[in-house]
């Protein structure tokens, strides 16, 4: 191997993709006119042999090495082998890890690429929340087929709060209200039954919830919406739909959203083979 460029070269060695080290190197290079420095990023380095190979190349020219390696043994290899070849080094991760070790009460994971996975989790969560908002309350039946979980139930059975809670757990959720006067969209019956969750509730509790809802809106709490006759009819209708679909049904009576969501997550994980 040879170094053809006459520019100073900074080799970036990383056990992940090396974006962090490259950002730091370019920030430092900008103080010396960055166009005069060549940056070579070598990602996913996981063994000593590869490190030595990179350092042998770096030793052929006017080079420095910056590295982000979470495993202490690999950092030691870089330092010892670079010292043998008189190559200056910059440990981007090590000092931060040392500082954290003094204030944290647990051992580090020492998993390469962990921050990237955390970023992926974040963007997955954002996408799930946007999905839940878009396909809330049956706004667009097409979302039923795209969803990982479909929640169905009559009004005030916690469909929306559950959708948002599950979305923050990175689950793509759509929900659909069941109303006796409105036929469910045909898309509902195309969804595999294991992806559909039915929500039921005690009639008396639902009546109280609906009466409070009407009061908050300044409406008559004795309206048909909160009558026991209406609630019983709606629950019977919902039960028939759920039996037709053969979906899993959860009773949300006197249960916190978190409790029901955890039960749903267990069903989801079983359905995903986890």
Q: Where are the domains of the chain?
A: 9-112, 115-271
Q: What is the dihedral of CA 155, 161, 163, 164, to 10 degrees?
A: 150
**Cβ–Cβ < 8 Å for 22, 68:** no
**CATH class of the 115-271 domain in this structure:** alpha beta
Helix (H) / strand (E) element for 196: namely strand 196-200
- How many CA atoms lie less than 13 Å away from 268 in the CB half-sphere? 19
Residues 6+ away with beta carbon under 8 Å from 157: 199, 200, 201, 206, 252
Q: Give the end-to-end CA distance of the chain in Å, rounded to a whole number.
A: 47
Question: pLDDT tens, position by position, for the chain (274 residues)?
Answer: 444 447 899 999 998 888 888 888 988 888 887 678 899 999 888 899 999 999 999 999 999 999 988 888 999 999 999 999 999 999 988 787 777 777 776 676 666 656 555 557 777 888 899 999 999 999 999 999 999 999 999 999 999 999 999 998 889 999 999 999 999 999 999 999 999 999 999 999 999 999 998 988 888 877 899 999 999 999 999 999 999 999 999 999 999 999 999 999 988 877 765 4
9-112 and 115-271 agree in CATH topology: yes
CA angle 223–228–230, rounded 5-degree value: 70
DSSP of 44-87, one letter per residue?
---SHHHHHHHHHHHTTSSEEEEEE--SHHHHHHHHHHHHHTT-
Q: Is 198 left (phi over 0), alpha (psi -120 to 50) or beta?
A: beta
- The correct CATH number of 9-112 out of 1.10.287, 2.40.50, 3.40.50, 3.10.450 is 3.40.50
């Amino acid at each position: 191997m040879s170094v053809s460029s006459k520019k100073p070269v900074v080799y970036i060695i990383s056990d992940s993709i090396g974006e962090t080290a490259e950002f730091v190197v370019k920030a430092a290079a900008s103080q010396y006119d960055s166009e005069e420095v060549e940056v070579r990023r070598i990602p996913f380095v996981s063994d000593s042999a590869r490190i030595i190979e990179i350092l042998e190349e770096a030793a052929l020219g006017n080079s420095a090495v910056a590295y982000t390696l979470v495993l202490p043994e690999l950092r030691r290899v870089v330092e010892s082998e670079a010292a043998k070849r008189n190559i200056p080094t910059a440990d981007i991760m090590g000092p931060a890890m040392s500082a954290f070790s003094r204030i944290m009460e647990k051992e580090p994971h020492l998993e390469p690429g962990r921050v990237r996975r955390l970023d992926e989790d974040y963007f997955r969560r954002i996408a799930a929340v946007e999905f839940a908002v878009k396909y809330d309350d049956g706004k667009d039946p097409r979302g039923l087929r795209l969803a990982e979980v479909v929640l169905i139930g009559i009004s005030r059975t916690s469909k929306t709060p559950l959708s948002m809670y599950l979305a923050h757990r990175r689950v793509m959720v759509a929900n659909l209200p069941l109303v006796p006067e409105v036929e469910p969209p045909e898309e509902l019956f195309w969804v595999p039954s294991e992806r559909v969750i039915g929500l039921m509730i005690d009639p008396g509790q639902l009546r109280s919830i609906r009466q409070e809802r009407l009061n908050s809106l300044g409406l008559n709490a004795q309206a048909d919406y909160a009558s026991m006759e209406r609630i019983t009819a709606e629950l019977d209708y919902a039960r028939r739909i759920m039996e037709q679909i053969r979906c899993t049904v959860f009773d949300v009576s006197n249960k916190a959203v978190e409790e029901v969501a955890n039960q749903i997550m267990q069903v989801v994980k079983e359905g995903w083979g986890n």
